[in-house]
Structure 1
Amino acid sequence: MVRRAKLVNDAVDLVPVLQLFSTETYRRVYETLLNEWKTLSELRELYGEGVEEALRILKNAGMLEVKWRMPSEPTGKPEKEYHVSYTHLSINVYISLKDLNTILNAIFMAEDEESEVVGRITEQISRGRISVQHISRETGMDSLFIRAIAKKSLRLNLKGQLVEMAKEDEI
């Protein structure tokens, strides 16, 4: 196994990494893909439902490698197979404990609360307000909290200081 470290220079980039270890299924998918290449169907056989979400979180964290596996029989179709690209983290952040608490609150927020917050953010995006600062001003939410929720949610994309709706692309 090749040892590669993901560089984290922004505390918000820790959100999907910590989210990845929030459930047993996510952890198992990560550990499996750390050691071997697996297709989506193979992962579903091993762990059932929830595998797609784990793969999306890995992709959102920038930790997922994808390649095509050619079929063993000539009439078969190629399938994507997945592997984890990083085994370590190199973290270089300077953050106040208050801001760290804000990020941890976003990570461990209940699903219904998160869905309400994401709804408020998507409402602002639909009105043309995609800047974190504009959304913060309009909703009264902390800008760091908005960035953390956008990084956590699979319905949103965070690009610098802009929040956009995520495209429904395949993994």
Structure 2
Amino acid sequence: MVRRAKLVNDAVELVPVLQLFSTETYRRVYETLLSEWRTLEELKQLYGEGVEEALRILKNAGMLEIKWRMPSDPAGKPEKEYHVSYTHLSINVYISLKELNTILNAIFMAEDEESEIVDRILEQIGRGRISVQHISRETGLDNLFIRALAKKSLKLNLKGQLVEPAKNEEV
């Protein structure tokens, strides 16, 4: 196994990485993809539902490699197969404990509460407010919390200081 380290220079980048270890299914998918290439169907057979979400989180974290597997049957279709590209983290962040608490609150927030806040953020985006600062001002939420939640949610994309609705792309 090749050892590669993902560089983390912003504490918000830790959100999807920590999210990977929040459920048994996510952990198992990660561990499997560390050592071998697997297709979506193979992963579903091994772990059932929740595999696609785990792959999206890995992709959101920038840790997923994708390539095409050619079928052994000439009439078959090629399939995407997946592999984890990083085995280690190199973290270089300077953050106050208060800010760390804000990020951890976003990571471990209950799903119903998260969904409600994401809907509020999407409502602001629909009104044309896509910068974290504008969304923060309108919702009363902390800038760092918005960034962390946008990094965690599969409904939002964080691009610098801008928040956009996520496109429903195939993994």
TM-score normalised by structure 2 residue count? 1.00
1:59: Cα distance to partner?
Answer: 0.1
CA distance in 2, matches of 1:164, 1:124: 10
2:52 counterpart of 1:63:
no
| Structure 1 stretches of at least 4 aligned residues deviating more than 2 Å after TM superposition | none
The Cα of 1:57 is off from its aligned counterpart by 0.1
- Name the SS for the 1:83 alignment partner: strand
Partner of 2:3: 3
Structure 2: which 5+ runs fail to align? none
What residue number does 2:117 align with? 117
User: What's the TM-score, normalizing by structure 1?
Assistant: 1.00
Amino acid in the other structure paired with 2:106: A
Matched, 1:40 2:46: no
Tell me the distance in 2 between the aligned counterparts of 1:117 and 1:2.
Answer: 39
Match of 1:94 in 2: 94
Cα distance in structure 2, aligned partners of 1:117 and 1:13:
20
Q: How does 1:67-146 map to 2 (within 5 A)?
A: 67-146=67-146
Identity fraction in percent: 87
**How far 1:38 sits from its partner (Å)?**
0.1
Gaps of 5+ in 1: none
Provide the rounded CA distance (Å) in 1 between the counterparts of 2:19 and 2:59.
12
Distance 2:78 2:153 in 1: 30
